[in-house]
């Protein structure tokens, strides 16, 4: 009887592991699909709005702002900057930058879910974690 319980438990464990693996695979495919849509902003990058004052009025512009220098400088492409100017709202550069950041956020959230599922999978087999 105990071998029946043991094999039933093993079968349930295998089924749960298979479901976790299938979910991870689905999320990894979603990441690849997002990457195929277009460029992805570097990690730690967000869209920032800033104001420039002219002689008679203020103008709003947008830029990509990274935690570390990742964008080539226009004047000297060998050096990197933490900022990439995108221009005014609605310009193609602004929309492209926004979409790059959106894709980065989506990928980061999907990766968090994959990492969580990987931890769940590891908890099914605690003896293999050592």
Q: How many domains does the chain have?
A: 1
pLDDT band with cut points at 50, 70 and 90 for residue 106: very high
- Quote the strand ranges of 1-130, DSSP E: 45-53, 58-66, 71-72, 80-81, 83-87
Predicted structure pTM score: 0.85
State the Cα–Cα distance between residues 61 and 51, nearest whole angstrom.
6
Secondary element (H or E) of residue 88: none
The whole domain housing 29 covers: 2-129
The predicted-structure confidence for 7-44, as pLDDT tens digits, reads as follows 888 888 899 999 999 999 999 999 999 999 999 999 99
């Amino acid at each position: 009887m105990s071998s029946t319980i043991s094999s039933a438990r093993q079968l349930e464990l295998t089924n749960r592991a298979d479901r976790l693996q299938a979910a991870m695979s689905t999320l990894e495919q979603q990441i690849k699909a997002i990457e195929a849509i277009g460029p992805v902003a570097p990690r730690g990058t967000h869209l920032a709005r800033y104001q420039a004052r002219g002689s008679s009025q203020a103008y709003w512009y947008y830029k990509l702002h990274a935690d570390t220098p990742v964008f080539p400088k226009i004047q000297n492409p060998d050096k990197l900057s933490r900022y990439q100017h995108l221009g005014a709202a609605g310009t193609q550069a602004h929309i492209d930058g926004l979409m790059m950041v959106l894709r980065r956020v989506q990928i980061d959230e999907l990766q968090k879910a994959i990492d969580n599922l990987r931890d769940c999978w590891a908890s099914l087999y605690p003896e293999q974690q050592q």
